[in-house]
Amino acid sequence: MWPWRGARAGLARGAPVPLSRRAPAPASGEEHLGLDLPPEVEDICRNVTRWARALPPELFTTAAEQGVFPAEAVLALLHLGVQRAALPVRSGGLGLGAVGGGAALSRLAAVECSLAAVVMASASCAALLHLGGTPSQKRRWLRPLLRGEGLGAIALTEPDGGSDLAAVRTRAEAAPDGWHLFGHKTFITNAAGPLLHVVVTLARVDGAGPCCFAVPAGTPGLRLGPPLRPIGWTAAGVGDVTFDGCLVRNAMLGAPGKGLSLVLRALTQGRLAIAAIGAGLAQGAWERCLARARGRVSANGRLLDHEAVRRMLVDMWVRAAAARLFALDAAAALDAGRDVRTEAAMAKLVATEAAVDNAKSAVQIFGAAGTRPGEPVARLWGDAKVLEIVEGTSEIQRLVLGRALERASPEAPTEAVPVAGRGAARGGPGRAEAVPPGSTPGT
């Protein structure tokens, strides 16, 4: 038993709030496995779920078919505060930590993954500004993001780039009053939407190495391409970003040459966010299929009465539950101050593969109805595949975990993390690798 204590006091100090444990209750689609979230986290999760379920389904069908960015819906979502849930109160956040931010993303993804991707990308941009920005940079760019006045984007992926950020080709040239940026980025979430406020990018500086720069929307020379319309995240404004000699002033985040280390620090948080989204998508797929199996009646009875379908639903339920536990456990460990690079890789791997498997099962259970382009169940498959690629592919996660085997301890962790699932095998800290927080949409 891990009693929950002092969450409201922790919020006042800007500290993240812990999880608590209760006796298991029957699964309802909202709660399962007996994990209680603190009241403050439950409040934002409840608001996000209620708001998302009230949206007209055709909104995202249209977005999928026509590549339309749902700007009004996104602005309304930002006013709920989900984009600032994880950051500390002193920085303008809600102080809910990685657990609170991840839980809100998970609830959102259970209803519509594209919206969760929009928020995740903007929150990741905010995290980089929080980690590396000066007070004046935070006032210019971070505060408006947290107030919901626009969206942020992280522009890392390059057309000819793989998983090695150190090989970045975009370059920054010193100017008397700032820096000129030259380069091209692709598959950038929020870049093709009308709400973009600031782009954080990585560029090579001769003699210093990769550096992070913040580029405000509207900067001369910053060109944003049309929506790319990938197979998933169809309403997330995924597009190209070109830096055509654009001049930025007072825009370098962190010290010269420290951009790569800054991005890699944010990488762990990004993987936890993707794990949370994957867990939410897996849960949402299961909920949709359970409702259909209970309500779909044929000459042979309910769909749920068929043993093959029942087995598929059980497997989906277990996968969603495991994904949620991995995501919450890693987030709680981060909030407790631990190095969680290994746990983040595990959570990202388990949750996104669970999302892909559950999406595949959902299409199977819905049959022909699940194959119509733009329909919610059909979109699940594309959304899940994108999750499996961004923030480092599943293959990259296995490489990270393979390196960690040299340092892995077979001993269970101590009392540092108050969350279920603590008996799972863990590795020691994984070595930081030059992998972008997404080599496809989500960067």
Domain with residue 238: its CATH number is 2.40.110.10
For 145-204, the pLDDT digits (tens) are 999 999 999 999 998 876 678 789 999 999 999 999 999 999 999 999 999 999 999 999
Q: What is the pLDDT of residue 66?
A: 80
* Cα gap 351→357, rounded to integer Å: 10
Of 158, 287, 353, 391, the catalytic one is: 391
For residue 76, what is the domain's CATH number?
1.10.540.10
A 10 A CB-CB count for 404 gives 20
For 341-377, the pLDDT digits (tens) are 999 999 999 999 999 999 999 999 999 888 887 788 9
Q: For residue 101, give its domain range.
A: 7-151
| Tokens standing for residue 188 | 């950038």
Average of per-residue pLDDT across 106-120: 96
Asked whether residue 13 falls in the same domain as residue 146, the answer is yes
Q: What is the pLDDT of residue 35?
A: 63
Q: 């903007």: which residue's tokens?
A: 122
**Averaged pLDDT of the chain:** 85
Asked whether residue 211 falls in the same domain as residue 138, the answer is no
Cβ atoms of residues 263 and 436 within 8 Å: yes
Residue finishing a domain among 151, 167, 182? 151
* Cα gap 16→38, rounded to integer Å: 10
> Which of 33-38's residues contact partners 24+ apart within 8 Å by CB, and which partners?
33/321, 33/324, 33/325, 33/420, 34/420, 35/324, 35/325, 35/328, 35/419, 35/420, 36/4, 37/99, 37/100, 37/103, 38/4, 38/7, 38/96, 38/100
Q: Residue 295 falls within a domain, yes or no? A: no
Q: Find, among 173, 143, 137, the residue nearest to 250 by Cα.
A: 137
| Three-state secondary-structure class, residue 15 | coil
Q: Report how many domains make up the chain.
A: 2
Q: Residue 59 falls within a domain, yes or no? A: yes
Q: Is the pLDDT of residue 2 over 60?
A: no
Is position 40 annotated as part of the catalytic site?
no
Asked whether residue 75 falls in the same domain as residue 34, the answer is yes
Q: Residue 443 falls within a domain, yes or no? A: no
Asked whether residue 130 falls in the same domain as residue 247, the answer is no
Share of the chain above pLDDT 90, in %: 68
Q: Residue 207 falls within a domain, yes or no? A: yes
Residue finishing a domain among 102, 124, 151? 151
Q: 């280390």: which residue's tokens?
A: 261
Position with higher pLDDT, 350 vs 56: 350
Asked whether residue 121 falls in the same domain as residue 213, the answer is no
Residue finishing a domain among 92, 121, 151? 151
Asked whether residue 20 falls in the same domain as residue 117, the answer is yes
For 274-290, the pLDDT digits (tens) are 999 999 999 999 999 99
Asked whether residue 87 falls in the same domain as residue 191, the answer is no
Cβ atoms of residues 218 and 48 within 8 Å: no
Give the type of residue at 256. P
Asked whether residue 11 falls in the same domain as residue 127, the answer is yes
Q: What is the pLDDT of residue 265?
A: 86
Position with higher pLDDT, 58 vs 11: 58
Asked whether residue 96 falls in the same domain as residue 64, the answer is yes
